[in-house]
């Protein structure tokens, strides 16, 4: 299934995308796409519904974040060997973990705001992993059983805030609108291998990132297991698993985003996003 949320910001309704690309209204069956609605029993109930029996949504409504009320937005740094190389960084002996504020989350095509004082706003296409049931001290072998599905995540980053202002990375990752997710959550059964998905990102039509989850250092199953040793993962939590090479910080000369730039990105089988970057007044 491709689950989504549509409508005005703050008033989104749950829906799904049928095989013909039509949005169908799920509000008669589930309150929202998130939390307990992502548990295995809930997803099984939704999967038993014939999409053609659901009301079709007319027009082209705004798509909101594909997961509602995200509790934790956990990110993994330097998790692609080729990306680590382009930034002259060593592959870490254990995953680098940082948090992105849930207040950064927006819809896949919403505008992204370049924060006041920013000089190095950068792009990062990532595979997002959505947790479907509580995971605590789980093994790598059973880790994928705790995944509800996957989505496109854009880990927008302000590099000066992240690396030049001292302290941890979080303040360069958590600015408002720095976390577009969606367009939809694709359930785990529709993704044969999360470690073999093509990823891409364009700025103003020019391809900047053209990679694959094959070059991940720590794969999805390992990350779910690893994180669950330090904190319980709850339904609706999102893990953003790192980015392939091609970010602005790694270019020579470096290149960063400015107002008016348009960024498009996607992950194979998970849809695409398109954002216009604007100055945050």
Q: Supply the DSSP string of 106-175, one letter for each residue.
A: E-TTS-EEEPTT-S-EE--EEEEEEE-S-BSS--TTTGGGGEEEEEEEE--EEHIIIIIS-S-GGGGT-S
Quote the tokens at residue 279.
Answer: 């100055």
Strand partners, 240: 75, 128
* Average predicted confidence (pLDDT) for the chain: 95
pTM, whole model, 2 decimals?
A: 0.96
Average of per-residue pLDDT across 171-177: 95
pLDDT at 172 over 80: yes
Residues 14 and 129 in one domain: no
The secondary structure element, H or E, covering residue 239 is strand 238-240
- pLDDT band, very low/low/confident/very high, at 85 (cuts 50, 70, 90): confident
Q: How many other C-beta atoms lie within 10 A of the C-beta of residue 207?
A: 11
Domain housing 32: 2-53
- pLDDT band, very low/low/confident/very high, at 194 (cuts 50, 70, 90): very high
Instruction: Note whether residue 67 is domain-resident.
Output: no
Instruction: Note whether residue 58 is domain-resident.
Output: no
Tell which residue, 208, 202, 203, has the closest CA to residue 246: 208
Quote the tokens at residue 112.
Answer: 């992204």
Burial profile 257-272: b = 16 or more Cβ within 10 angstroms, e = fewer: beeebebbbbbeebbb
What does the pLDDT read at residue 68?
98
Average of per-residue pLDDT across 128-133: 98
Instruction: Note whether residue 150 is domain-resident.
Output: yes
Q: Please check whether residue 7 is in contact with residue 64, taking contact to mean a CB–CB distance below 8 angstroms.
A: yes
Residues 217 and 260 in one domain: yes
Quote the tokens at residue 111.
Answer: 């505008």
pLDDT at 86 over 90: no
pLDDT for 52-81, tens place per residue? 999 999 999 999 999 999 999 999 998 998
Instruction: Note whether residue 65 is domain-resident.
Output: no
Tally of domains in the chain: 2
- pLDDT band, very low/low/confident/very high, at 92 (cuts 50, 70, 90): confident
pLDDT at 163 over 90: no
Q: 160: number of CA atoms within 13 Å, CB side? A: 12
Residues 7 and 95 in one domain: no
Tell me if residue 258 falls in helix, strand or coil. Answer: coil
Q: Distance between CA 179 and CA 158 in Å, rounded?
A: 12
CATH of the domain at 217: 3.90.850.10
Q: Distance between CA 115 and CA 279 in Å, rounded?
A: 7
Residues 127 and 199 in one domain: yes
Instruction: Note whether residue 248 is domain-resident.
Output: yes
């Amino acid at each position: 299934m491709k689950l989504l949320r549509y409508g005005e910001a703050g008033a989104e309704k749950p829906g799904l995308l049928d095989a013909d690309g039509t949005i169908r209204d799920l509000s008669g069956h589930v309150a929202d796409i998130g939390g307990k609605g992502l548990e295995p029993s809930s997803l099984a109930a939704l999967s038993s519904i014939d999409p053609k029996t659901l009301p079709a949504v007319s027009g082209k409504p705004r798509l909101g974040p594909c997961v509602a009320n995200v509790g934790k937005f956990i990110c993994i740094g330097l998790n692609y060997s080729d990306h680590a190389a382009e930034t002259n960084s060593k592959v870490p002996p254990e995953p680098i973990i940082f948090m992105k504020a849930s207040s950064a989350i927006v819809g896949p095509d919403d505008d992204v705001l370049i924060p006041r004082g920013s000089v190095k706003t950068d792009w990062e296409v990532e595979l997002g992993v959505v947790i479907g049931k509580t995971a605590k001290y789980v093994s790598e072998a059973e880790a994928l059983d705790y995944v509800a599905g996957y989505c496109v995540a854009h880990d927008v980053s302000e590099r000066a805030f992240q690396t030049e202002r001292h302290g941890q990375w979080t303040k360069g990752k958590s600015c408002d609108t720095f976390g577009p997710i969606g367009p939809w959550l694709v359930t785990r059964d529709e993704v044969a291998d999360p470690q073999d998905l093509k990823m891409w990102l364009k700025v103003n039509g020019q391809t900047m990132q053209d990679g694959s989850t094959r070059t991940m250092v720590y794969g999805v199953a390992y990350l779910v297991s690893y994180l669950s040793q330090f904190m319980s993962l709850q339904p609706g939590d999102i893990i953003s698993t790192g980015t392939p090479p091609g970010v602005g910080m790694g270019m020579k000369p470096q290149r960063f985003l400015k107002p008016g730039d348009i960024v498009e990105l996607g992950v194979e089988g998970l849809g695409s996003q398109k954002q216009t970057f604007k100055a945050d007044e």
